[in-house]
Amino acid sequence: MQKILVARPIFPDVIERLKQYFDVDWNQGDVLSADELTRRLADKDGALTAGDPVGAAELAAAPRLRVVANMAVGYNNFDMAAFNAANVLGTNTPDVLNESTADFGWALMMAAARRITESEHWLRAGQWQKWAYDAFLGSDLHGSTLGVIGMGRIGQALARRAKGFNMQVIYHNRSRVAPEIEAELNAEYASKQDLLRRADHVVLVLPYTKENHHTIGAAELALMKPTATLTNIARGGIVDDVALVEALRSKQIAAAGLDVFEGEPNLNQDLLSVPNVVLTPHIASATEATRRAMANLAADNLIAGLGEGPRAGRPLNPVNPDVIGKARS
């Protein structure tokens, strides 16, 4: 029986599914250190990860490893050059989290725009003594301009929601989406600089790559309106958190909503002392239905990738499909 590592705690019923096919080593505790991950991968044929870094060193120490299934859309935790060189297949879990993540992005954007977290902290501190016409004045979403950077599946789901708020949608993407999608979403393509200047609410939904590192930094924040908000539901590192702290403190922009951070779960401690930012711990896809769908899809990919089950040899979501069928090198 082939051996696999499940590197994070996940739903026990998904583990039971995997046990039908594999000898399962299941980490039910804290995140594995790099050394422990390497040690436990050493005799494995496959692995199910959730953001755990897997690169050349881990692959070299695990000569049997052929498939690593990530329980996430992003796979920047994989060194894809090393995966391709070793003919190791990586998979991800797109689509199943689009709507839940878009819902959360909308909630985070609205909380930032309407100063919900800031006002709740003030109330909990016992400072609410009277109604005041100018207390916690925020900005409207309805009738405003939404700027989406990264018009993939989740970006498009956000744009669909904007219709109900009568918002103008502008977007920037590595390439323009099809004309029929632009028409459906009533979305206008714009350069990044133009989008930042025009948008009342900017939402980031692009993958993390070396090229996308600090897509939003001091220069980009300086282009935004002083009344604008910035929401990041993409990946940490896309925003320069140091520059963002300064922009929020100086009111260069009005507010921000962040679900992801550079170096998470560690984060820039200065963010904790800035009142005009809403902070959440990477939970945009955190509904039970969606997380179950992600776990099961990752399991499906691992089962099929290791040649088991009804889709043997044909995983649904390969990120480097060219290695399928090639011997491990």
State yes or no: is 314 an active-site residue. no
Q: CA 112, CA 114: separation in Å to the nearest integer?
A: 6
Does the annotation mark 36 as catalytic? no
- Hey, what are 266's tokens? 């560690």
Q: Exactly one of 36, 99, 264, 308 is catalytic; name it.
A: 264
- Residue in the structure block whose two tokens are 């120490």: 61
Which residue from 200, 202, 224, 195 is spatially nearest to 145, judged by alpha carbons?
A: 200
CA atoms 66, 69, 73, 78: torsion sign? negative
Q: Which of 40, 160, 282, 328 is catalytic?
A: 282
**Of these residues, 17, 114, 161, 235, which one is catalytic?**
235
Return the HEC string of 264-282.
CCCCCHHHHHCCCEEECCC
- Enter the DSSP assignment of 323: G
Closest CA to 253 of 271, 226, 220: 226
Tokens read off for 127: 């400072």
Quote the tokens at residue 170.
């502008």
Contact 90, 114 (CB under 8 A): no
- Give catalytic status of residue 282 as yes or no: yes
**Residues known to be catalytic:** 235, 264, 282
